[in-house]
Amino acid sequence: MSYVIGAHCIDVTDRACLDVCPVDCIYVGDRKSYINANECIDCGACEPECPVDAIFADRTARADENKALFAADSIAFFAEPLPGRDAPLGDPGGAGAVGDLGVDTALVDSYRRS
């Protein structure tokens, strides 16, 4: 099991989840953050810190089409080349070393700006 950040995070600048993540597996795009499932230790520390209830366990996505969409999108963020990049981000071993990426997946880019 891992955690996923859903649509409610888009255009929200609160980063409380990043502050509590003990393994630094939450990466910042342009409009949304993403949890690397391969680096997540499933501690759940991020979930209660989210002020907009955007974080959920990936296993809950099976019963919710919108959550499933964001679970797949989270995988794509790390497994497919992002705009302006030649290679996938993969598993860099911590968001701090990478810094804010300033780019999102096509799904997140397609959401209207608030």
**pLDDT at residue 112 in the model:** 79
Element (H, E) at 56: strand 55-57
Q: Phi/psi of residue 3, each to 5°?
A: -115, 155
Q: What is the pLDDT of residue 114?
A: 54
User: Is this model's pTM higher than 0.85 or not?
Assistant: yes
Each residue's pLDDT tens digit in the chain (114 positions)? Answer: 799 999 999 999 899 999 999 999 999 999 999 999 999 999 999 999 999 999 999 999 888 999 999 999 999 999 999 999 999 999 999 999 999 999 999 999 998 765
Structural domains of the chain in order of their starting residue, each with its CATH number: 3-105 (3.30.70.20)
Q: Could you tell me where the DSSP H helices lie in the chain?
A: 16-20, 65-79, 95-98, 106-110
pLDDT of the residue at 62: 86
